[in-house]
Structure 1
Amino acid sequence: MSMIFPLLLILFFVLIYFTIKGLKKKKENITTIEILIFVLYMLSFLLFGIGLITHSNQHTDAIDPVDLECYIPFGEKHIITLILYFICFNISAGFIWVKGRKLPPLSLVLFLIFLFIGIVINSAILIQITTHNTETLDVYKENIGTFLFIFTPALSLIIAIGLLIKVIKEEKIEAKNKTYKNKFINYCNTFLADKFNESIWALLFLIPVFITITIILMLFGQDVNSISKVFTDTTTWALSQKSHPPILDHKGHYLCTVAAKGSPDIVKPIRLGKRHKNIIIVNRQLQIANAFEEMITDISPKLHRFIRSNYDKYGYNLSLKINSKMGSNITYILMKPLEWIFLISLYLLCLNPEKKINKQYKI
């Protein structure tokens, strides 16, 4: 694993090198500043990717900040909408940068529309990631997320505005250089050159194109307001409107506790509970295991100390290796036979087994 990251980094820079080489052939008179901005933009993708790796949890997930986990600034269900506009924006920016006014009029207008939409979305992303409230995450006090995410939308805005200025200037120069023998037509051309260039047409058609794309996205399971929900269906970020579950108690990462981090439809969380003064997620399996442990304590404290010492010795280290959603789901399933043994034992030896089970981790 330690060798994979340097290799990927080398491949990334090799890709940038050959991309620049190809651009020099396609685009005439490419400047050093343009190359520098392109390289910085590509590097911002790398930082953004690292940000997504370290901030990959949805607002419904219970996380442990000790494991350097945090919440993603985009809603999972609606992220397809964001990805589509991201792709359209970058393709449009690329074509306008390389071809400029040499593009067919309709293509240029369409690319400008995506540039305008990109400006709005990147502004929203900037607002979203500049505020990251980690106070509810206890030990996670650093706000490295903003640093990792900020460069891509910021550079996108700079590039988009720069390309718009470039197109407007080129259009004015081209329109003013055109002359017609007919005075009336010449007057109309001059008037329209000042009032209605491709940028204006792009603004006029922006809403119809946006509505069309929204309808297409709805056919693929997106909501009519996915473009706003992708920011609001999150937690800890500026535009977030959701709250996250209590953070996991990293001192209680034993097999049953880890199971509470799994998929809700599998591990079946039932309520919140308290363990060592920390709020945790409780499921039936965890309650049964703890009730069984309590019963062993009542019957034989010495046996309980022996079991607990071994569980403390191996349980935590093992839990670190399975501390993920998939690992927790597998753990929950593997623990099922043991859960049934615990439950049968409770019903055999306890007068009120359900009462003992239900009182576990009461707040």
Structure 2
Amino acid sequence: MIDRRRFLLATAGWLAAACAGRARAGADASPAAGASVWAPYSQAMPIDGCAFLGNDGGEADAPLTPAVIADVRDSGLRALQVTVGPVARYENAYESTVRDLAYWEREFARHPDLLLPVRNAADLQRAHRERKLGIVFQFQDSAPIGEKLERVDDFQRLGVRTVQLTYNLRNLAGDGCMEPGDAGLSRFGQQLIERLNERRLLLDLAHSGRRTALEAIAASKAPVLISHTGCAALVERPRNKTDAELRAVAGGGGVVGIYLMPFLREQGQATAADVIAHLEHAVRVCGEDHVGIGTDNALSPVRLTEAYKRMHRDTVRERRRLGVSAPGEHEDVYLFVPELNHARRFERIAALLARRGHSDARIGKLLGGNFARVMSEVWG
């Protein structure tokens, strides 16, 4: 199965090698070039609620290369949630997830000066203090847990800290956003949420069906995330969340992350202006304490080569064949925002928000302060 996560992992690294040193120059030529720097960035706590680190060879288990590590340093991010385990696949999901976790343990050993596993609030604080990139293990489907609730305990001990309930399709826990029946949370899903609450793991409702999301928010005794989404009030897409869902997350103390995906506009390539529009709408609905950024992008920039276009086209076709493709996925609309196609995209977003009159305090919350607060509250 070709899923978006594998596609991004495969392309980001080998494209990063070609882009390194040129991405910033390309970004400076964009229409937003006058808003590139936000002075407080070095003191902020930028957290990407959903992102990927690629490998130059195109192999998902290849060591991170110097080009990718350079992008990590340049990004200024203090934490990001990386996906471990498969999506929309139960067969060997547990074993696959364990292999992913082992891969990251090797990378932590290779780069102790830069990468830091995040398990609790103290680790987030340490990443900020030592200017490292904290890595949070995140599921984008509860498939690795299967129907065995005791696996929540296993994965908690192995370092997983955020569990997304569903991907696009129906699973044992509930309906994803592509299920037309939108049947909501299952009995097992309710039990799973109870277990996640007990073990102090964050519940993530990205990709969930709308009824599933509202029922899960109501069932959770802890704040929840929607780590990467857009606003359905601006663009009606299954992957985007309604104002009712956004309010429910905020009402429970959680955070909604806005992504950098094609679903931010009706057609064509998403722009930085689209990202800002969705962030501002989410702030109006949720309040400034309940919005963040989850790019759903590779951290390294993308170079729009013929090889990239071909791989993107093949991935979209395969996702359609498997029934996991969402409306708004097109063969000629790519998974990045041109003006933000560089590792330091969070500072560019901050500068654009500042230019529109948002205060430094609010911008700091949106860049990651809100994620840090909720993560610390739930993980302890």
Relative to the length of structure 2, the TM-score reads 0.21
Relative to the length of structure 1, the TM-score reads 0.22
State which structure, 1 or 2, has the greater radius of gyration over its C-alpha atoms: 1
Q: Which has the higher helix share?
A: 1
